[in-house]
Amino acid sequence: MLKQIEGSAAVAEAVGLCRPEVICAYPISPQTHIVEALGRMVSAGKLSPCEFINVESEFAAMSVAIGASAAGARAYTATASQGLLFMAEAVYNAAGLGLPIVMTVANRAIGAPINIWNDHTDALSQRDCGWIQLFAEDNQEALDLHIQAFRLAEELSLPVMVCMDGFILTHAYERVDIPTQAQVDAFLPPYEPRQVLDPADPVSIGAMVGPEAFMEVRYLAHAKQRQALELIPAWADEFRRIFGRQSGGLTHAYRTSDADVVVVALGSVLGTIKDTVDEMRAGGMKIGALGITCFRPWPLAAVREALAGAKCVVVLEKSIAIGMGGIVANNVSASYAGRPDSVHTVIAGLGGRAITKKSLHRVFSQAMEGMLGPLTFMDLDHALVERVLAREREQRRSGPIAEGILRDLGVVGAKIG
Amino acid sequence: MFQVRIHGRGGQGVVTAAELLSVAAFREDRHAQAFPSFGSERTGAPVVAFCRIDDRPIRLREPILAPDALIIQDPTLLHQVDVFGGLVPDGYILINTSRTFEDLGLGDFVRDFSAAQLCTVPATEIAMKHVGRPLPNAALLGGFAALTGRTSLESVNSAIREKFPAKVAEANVLAAAAAFEYVAREKAEVAHA
């Protein structure tokens, strides 16, 4: 059924249709609307049997999800930013124990300085924790990926993180097709756990493992993620058969077949990139885009194939490996069979900085002309940076950087972008 | 694509207005995308919300930098925020005030605009009369429908009824209708002038 609703409401409906049995969450922007909507569904008796557990922190949220999942319940939670960092130890445990929890990460920057706006540094900080990480391009895909995530998680007995851009998607009203319960039931079978805490058949979960077997447990986690590379495209096909639309999969290629320049990105910025690609194509430029839907496991072969014909690769990412450059770009470089100096990193949109078509045109045109450097900070205010550096040269007690920059900048309430 | 930017203050239903407009467009089988300028939800702080309407799916995610129409829910923002920034040359401007563009000191600014694209409507007064609270958003959407014809009053009403409980919805429907009439009358006067 087509509806014009907020992204968070769409995700809540999708999660509800997946018949979760335990939902636990601690509120943090921009994830809050999702769990609030689920809380209302539970209290109205629309989700039954399902227990909504209010917890005192994100660490508790993931710990409760671990306990619920180990007891055989289909468990869901959601978080963002500092919330994800606060639960990090339990996030690793969920993966290490092989518990199929599904979690929405409403992507948001990490402090300090505190910032509630969107970028991808929260999810990417957990890229090696053992969770599968899927990134949604729009709200329809965010909705659809949650349905696919439960199936994937439970089949592999691995947790899955569905990442959607905070505010840009979570708070956007757009048209989504809400599936029927029958469609979701046809795609997602009841949860049949591989391991369960059952008093009638007692086991322990979470044993200490020494040097004699730790490597093997870790290797199996890696092997399972490689298995996901086979299952994800197959299930995207099955999803299309049941739901009638293409959603999920490993990557989305857009006008790449004859492209000299291919732009690689994650999440909602792909929409703006595709519009820019169309405009540049209309001007005769051979440019395309590659969306990474599945970031973990990293779809090396799919990325390599999609980039095979590209002379130049631009990785536009809302994340930064401070002291190194791009996180996504590093993964892309490993998959690009061409010359390594043809992969260009563009850091953009950190902390919610708007990513505009105008700026994308400028950066992509530079790439077409061979004028783009290895690492670019798109729309960086160099003068502002220089003032801080000058202050630091001039005085030892130059003061806190963030507050100094805000003082230099003056009132920003009037800015629209 | 038709792009609308709505300026107001936290607590005036700016974000809701953009959402309602997107639902109204959806009711007319069009694609629409509404989103707020994030993070400034404090009561009284300047807030911006955006709505794009098109006949095909909307992929663009940048803020609306070159709006086709502006709805200004609070005229005190005129001196605080660059509300007109990027407005297309023949864009629509709808301001919630009982004063005229000339009274607001905007006479020079709008000199080159077609008079049929400009309107002021006392939406807060209309809301106080029908809704009993200073929430001008529904009234302004009625005015927007009359000014631009980009959505119908019926679709605005249907969006209002979807969003609010029956009693509140009907009060807002009355406010939207009153503002629609007001703007339609103003437009007719311009046409005859």
Size of interface A-B (CB pairs under 8 A): 90
Smallest CA–CA separation between A269 and chain B, in Å?
A: 7
Task: Give the residue among A226, A217, A214 at the shortest CA–CA distance from A250.
Answer: A226
Mean pLDDT of A100-108: 98
Residue among A202, A214, A191, A226 nearest A96 (CA): A214
pLDDT confidence tier of residue B192, bands split at 50, 70 and 90 = confident
Specify the DSSP class assigned to residue B37.
P
Q: Which long-range contacts link A413-417 to residues 24+ away (Cβ below 8 Å)? A: A413/B40, A413/B45, A413/B46, A413/B80, A413/B81, A414/B46, A414/B80, A414/B81, A414/B82, A416/B5, A416/B37, A416/B48, A416/B63, A416/B65, A416/B81, A416/B82, A416/B85, A416/B86, A417/A354, A417/A356, A417/B62, A417/B63, A417/B65
Instruction: Identify residue A202 by its one-letter amino acid code.
Output: P
**Which residue's structure tokens are 């039931």?**
A185
- pLDDT exceeds cutoff 60 at A132: yes
Query: In A, which residues are within 8 Å of B46 by CB distance?
Result: 413-414
Q: Which of A6, A355, A413 sits opposite B46 (nearest CB)?
A: A413
End-to-end CA distance of chain B: give it in Å, rounded. 31
Q: What is the pLDDT of residues A279-298, one digit of tens each?
A: 999 999 999 999 999 999 99
Asked if B35's CB is within 8 angstroms of A167's CB, the reply is yes
Can you give the pLDDT at residue B189? 87
CATH number for position A284: 3.40.50.920
Spell out which residues of chain A touch residue B26, defining contact as CB-CB under 8 Å.
Answer: 2, 4, 175
- If one counts every other C-beta atom within 10 angstroms of the C-beta of residue A339, the result is 10
- Is residue A58 one of the residues assigned to a domain? yes
Contacts of B62 in chain A (CB under 8 A): 272, 354-357, 417
Q: Are residues A415 and A367 both part of a single domain?
A: no
Task: For residue B56, give how far its alpha carbon lies from the nearest alpha carbon of chain A (Å).
Answer: 11
How confident is the model over A52-63, as pLDDT tens digits?
A: 999 999 999 999
How far does B161 lie from chain A, in Å, by closest CA?
Answer: 14
Domain assignment of residue A162, yes or no: yes
State yes or no: pLDDT of A412 exceeds 70: no
Is residue A290 within 8 Å of residue A306, measured between CB atoms? yes
Q: Which chain A residues contact residue B58 at CB under 8 A?
A: 174, 271
Q: Does residue A290 sit in the same domain as residue A396?
A: no
Q: Does domain B2-192 have CATH number 3.40.50.300?
A: no
Whether pLDDT at A414 is above 70: no
Lowest average pLDDT, out of A277-286, B75-84, B151-160, B168-177, goes to B75-84
Q: Evaluate if residue A411 carries a pLDDT over 80.
A: no
pLDDT of residue A62: 98
| Average pLDDT for A194-212 | 96
Q: What average pLDDT does chain A have?
A: 96
**Whole-number Cα distances in Å, A104 to A107, A108, B113, B178:** 9, 12, 47, 43
In a domain, A382, yes or no: no
pLDDT at B80: 85
Q: Which of A175, A252, A360 to mutate to test the interface with B (most CBs of B within 10 A)?
A: A175
Alpha helices in A188-261 (DSSP H): 214-243
Name every chain A residue with its beta carbon within 8 A of the beta carbon of B36: 167, 171
User: Per-residue pLDDT tens for A344-362?
Assistant: 999 999 999 999 999 999 9
**Subunit contact A174:B33, Cβ cutoff 8 A:** yes
Identify the DSSP state of A178: P
Q: Do A416 and B5 touch (CB under 8 A)?
A: yes
Say yes or no for a CB contact (<8 Å) between A168 and B48. Answer: no
CA–CA min distance B142, chain A (Å): 20
Task: Please say which residue of A192, A210, A243 terminates a domain.
Answer: A243
In a domain? residue A113: yes
Whether residue A283 sits in one domain with residue A186: no
Given a cut of 80, whether residue A416 has pLDDT beyond it is no
| CB contacts, 8 Å: B39 with chain A | 116-117, 167, 352
A287 or B44, which is more confident: A287
Residues A318, A348 contacting (CB under 8 angstroms) = yes
Q: Which residues pair with A346 in a beta bridge?
A: A316, A376
Q: How far apart are CA A58 and CA A81, in angstroms?
A: 11
Q: Do A357 and B63 touch (CB under 8 A)?
A: no
Best residue of B14, B51, B61, B87 to probe chain A, by most A CBs closer than 10 Å: B61
Tokens of A405: 């920059």
Q: Each residue of A215-245: pLDDT tens digit?
A: 999 999 999 999 999 999 999 999 999 999 9
Average pLDDT value for residue range B10-15: 93
The boundaries of the domain holding residue A363 are: 251-377
Domain ranges in chain B are: 2-192
Nearest in space to A146 (alpha carbons), one of A174, A178, A112: A178
Instruction: Count structural domains, chain A.
Output: 3
DSSP helix/strand/coil, B183: helix
Of B57, B60, B80, the CB nearest to A272: B60
Q: Residue A205 pLDDT more than 60?
A: yes
Answer whether residue A385 shows pLDDT above 60. yes
Which of B26, B59, B62 lies nearest to residue A274, judging by beta carbons?
Answer: B59
How far apart CA A163 and CA A138 sit, in angstroms, is 11
Q: Do residue A282 and residue A310 come from a single domain?
A: yes
Q: Using 50, 70 and 90 to split pLDDT, how confident is the model at A417? A: low
Which CATH number belongs to the domain containing residue A56 in this structure?
3.40.50.970
Of B38, B65, B80, the CB nearest to A171: B38
pLDDT surpasses 90 at B38 = no
Query: CA A59, CA A91: separation in Å to the nearest integer?
Result: 9
Contact list, B57 vs chain A (CB under 8 Å): 175
Predicted pLDDT at B90: 87
Chain A residue numbers touching B5 (CB-CB < 8 A): 416
Answer yes or no: do A235 and A290 share one domain.
no
Q: What residue in B sits closest to A276 (Cα-Cα)?
A: B60
One domain for residues A75 and A59: yes
Closest CA to A328 of A253, A233, A256, A263: A263
> In angstroms, what separates the C-alpha of B85 from chain A's closest C-alpha?
8
Residue B41 has pLDDT above 90, yes or no: no
Note the pLDDT of residue A280. 98
Examine the fold and report which residue of A243, A272, A295 is the final residue of a domain before the chain moves on: A243
pLDDT tens, position by position, B72-115: 999 999 988 899 999 999 899 999 999 999 999 999 999 888 88
- Given this model, what pLDDT does residue A340 score? 77
Q: How far is B83 from chain A (nearest CA, A)?
A: 8
Question: In the structure, what pLDDT confidence band is assigned to residue B39 with cuts at 50, 70 and 90?
Answer: low
Convert the pLDDT of each residue in A252-266 to its tens digit. Answer: 999 999 999 999 999
Residues A356 and A304 in one domain: yes
Q: For a pLDDT cut of 90, what percent of chain B falls above it?
A: 85
Name chain B contacts of A173, Cβ cutoff 8 Å. Answer: 18-19, 22-23, 32-35
pLDDT of residue A88: 98
Boundary of a domain, candidates A208, A243, A278: A243
